[in-house]
């Protein structure tokens, strides 16, 4: 799959401006060198570095006890550039030399030293003369360059300037006008686009953004703005839906807690007044109070559990267990619950023995919630089956299947939401809307997956996939 490379629009603009600047600069340099041409004598080359080197060499000299000393850096530079040096006293006699050719004398007259300033190439060398002054003495020194160096400077070519003066002025004027026009138009164009981008950002923050057309140099910027607005819009809608569901859930939980508390309070008041006629009635009232107290306790426990799981503070204590026996015992415990005495659940397993690393208490809660959900939200005659299978020795599958009422696609999409209580809350007010959400959180904590398949009038099956591994 090929990915389109994104190009920064500012980079394109910068490249255009850079090319324009280079063209103008090259043109100006060409005109300059034409107008200030330098006639180069035959056999000579133009160079200013030897002059500078000779003049600056005195910085590597110093006087010690009346004697002239050459610093090591000076000697190193001579060797580096293959130069030679001859130092003379005030009488023109040699007091020091380095790499000096044998065909140069050991002393010079004043006129001979002056001749070096005007002569050029001699004995295979071009010689430059410098001097070093101390508080009491002056030394002269010669620096020899083993190649031909022309001692010439640039000069002003009036003929070319006179000939090209009007053309140059016109060219400069045109270039200036073009440059100013470009800067003005570019500034106007850029300001318009930046204003549009700035307005788009403000509109996004104010939730009043209108989608921009993704074209032109700034199409990538417009595309990103459109994408940002879409993400913020979806986030706002999700937050709005979540907040609305949360409020509804809190309202339902508050109502659900009032439901068991009201009979608890009423029957407790009757018992406290001593108006109960016989012990049988007292026992009946006590059972009602106990039932409603247990219901309220379950609501609070489920509320606490779901937030512990969501916050990641729930103790997780996995251990190796016999998984087949574990699931079978979970089914038996639910069947033995007085609330489901008249219900039946079938258990089936394609394997006889399997050891898996899980937190038994948490997973029992998850599987129990799935089974109880099937029992609670289906007619009494509904057939329920819990089966265990091994998938390629890497995953263990637990399926809770029923042939009951089934669910719509909309119900299935909301089923594992923490605040969803289904559509039959009036017939089944005991639910908290947390059971299936807790089941999913626990399965996810084990590194597994949970899904649902259902169809109206044909039943529902919950599929739990858990990694088949040992602690």
- Residue ranges per structural domain of the chain: 9-38+155-200, 49-145, 239-307, 315-467
Options 3.40.50.1980, 3.40.630.10, 3.90.1150.10, 3.30.565.10; CATH for 315-467 is 3.30.565.10
> What CATH number should be reported for the domain whose range is 239-307?
1.10.287.130
The answer to whether 445 touches 389, Cβ cutoff 8 Å, is no
Extract the residue ranges of the chain whose pLDDT is less than 50: 1-7, 36-46, 152-158, 423-429
In three-state secondary structure terms, 163 is helix
Nearest to residue 446, comparing CAs of 343, 321, 267?
Answer: 321
CA 69 → CA 48, 64, 74, 95, 138, distances in Å? 27, 7, 10, 10, 13
Give the strands of the sheet with 395-402, arranged side by side: 345-349, 384-391, 395-402, 459-467, 449-455
| Rounded-to-integer distance, Cα 226 and Cα 232, Å | 10
Q: What is the pLDDT of residue 461?
A: 94
Identical topology for domains 239-307 and 315-467: no
| Rounded-to-integer distance, Cα 450 and Cα 460, Å | 13
* CB-based burial label for 431 (10 Å; 0-12, 13-18, 19+): buried
| Rounded-to-integer distance, Cα 448 and Cα 464, Å | 7
Fold of the domain spanning 49-145: Beta-Lactamase (3.30.450)
Which structure tokens are listed for 43?
Answer: 């056999």
* CB-based burial label for 6 (10 Å; 0-12, 13-18, 19+): exposed
Q: What is the DSSP string of 289-347?
A: HHHHHHHHHHHHHHHHHHHHHHHT-S----EEEEHHHHHHHHHHHHHTSGGGTT--EEE
| Whole-prediction pTM | 0.44
Q: What is the pLDDT of residue 296?
A: 78
Q: What is the pLDDT of residue 398?
A: 95
Q: Within its chain, how far is the Cα of 393 from the centroid?
A: 38
| Residue percentage of the chain with pLDDT more than 90 | 24
The answer to whether 320 touches 357, Cβ cutoff 8 Å, is yes
Element (H, E) at 94: strand 94-98
Q: What is the pLDDT of residue 467?
A: 93
């Amino acid at each position: 799959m090929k990915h389109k490379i994104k190009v920064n629009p500012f980079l394109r603009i910068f490249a255009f401006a850079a090319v324009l600047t280079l063209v103008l600069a090259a043109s100006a340099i060409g005109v300059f060198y034409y107008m200030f041409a330098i006639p180069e004598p035959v056999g000579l080359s133009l160079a200013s570095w030897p002059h500078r080197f000779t003049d600056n060499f005195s910085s590597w000299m110093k006087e010690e006890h009346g004697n002239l000393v050459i610093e090591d850096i000076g000697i190193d530079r001579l060797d580096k550039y293959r130069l030679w040096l001859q130092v003379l006293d005030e009488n023109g006699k040699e007091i020091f030399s380095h790499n000096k050719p044998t065909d140069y004398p050991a002393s010079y007259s004043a006129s001979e030293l002056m001749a070096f300033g005007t002569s050029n190439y001699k004995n295979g060398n071009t010689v430059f003369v410098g001097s070093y002054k101390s508080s009491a003495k002056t030394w002269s020194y010669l620096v020899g360059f083993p190649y031909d160096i022309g001692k010439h400077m640039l000069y002003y070519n009036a003929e070319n300037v006179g000939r090209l003066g009007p053309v140059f002025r016109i060219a400069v004027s045109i270039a200036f006008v073009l440059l100013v026009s470009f800067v003005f138009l570019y500034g106007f164009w850029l300001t318009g686009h930046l204003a549009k981008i700035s307005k788009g950002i403000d509109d996004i923050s104010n939730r009043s953004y209108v989608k921009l057309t993704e074209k032109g140099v700034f199409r990538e910027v417009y595309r990103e703005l459109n994408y940002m607005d879409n993400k913020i819009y979806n986030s706002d809608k999700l937050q709005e839906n979540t907040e609305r569901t949360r409020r509804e859930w809190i309202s339902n939980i508050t109502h659900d807690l009032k439901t068991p508390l009201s009979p608890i309070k009423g029957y407790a008041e009757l018992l406290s007044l001593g108006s109960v006629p016989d012990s049988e009635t007292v026992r009946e009232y006590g059972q009602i109070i106990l039932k409603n107290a247990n219901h309220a306790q379950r609501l609070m426990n489920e509320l606490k559990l779901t937030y512990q799981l969501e916050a990641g503070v729930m103790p997780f204590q996995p251990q190796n267990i016999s998984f087949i026996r574990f699931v079978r015992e979970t089914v038996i415990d639910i069947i033995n619950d007085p609330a489901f005495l008249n219900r039946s659940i079938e258990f089936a397993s394609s394997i006889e023995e399997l050891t898996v690393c899980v937190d038994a208490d948490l997973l029992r809660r998850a599987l129990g919630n799935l089974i109880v959900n099937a029992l609670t939200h289906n007619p009494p005659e509904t057939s329920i089956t819990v089966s265990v299978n091994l998938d390629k020795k890497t995953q263990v599958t637990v399926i809770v299947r029923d042939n009951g009422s089934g669910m719509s696609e909309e119900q299935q999409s909301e089923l594992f939401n923490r605040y969803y209580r289904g559509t039959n809350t009036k017939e089944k007010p005991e639910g908290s809307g947390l059971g299936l959400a807790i089941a999913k959180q626990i399965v996810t904590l084990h590194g597994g997956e949970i899904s649902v398949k259902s169809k109206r009038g044909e039943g529902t099956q919950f599929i739990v996939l858990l990694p088949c591994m040992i602690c």
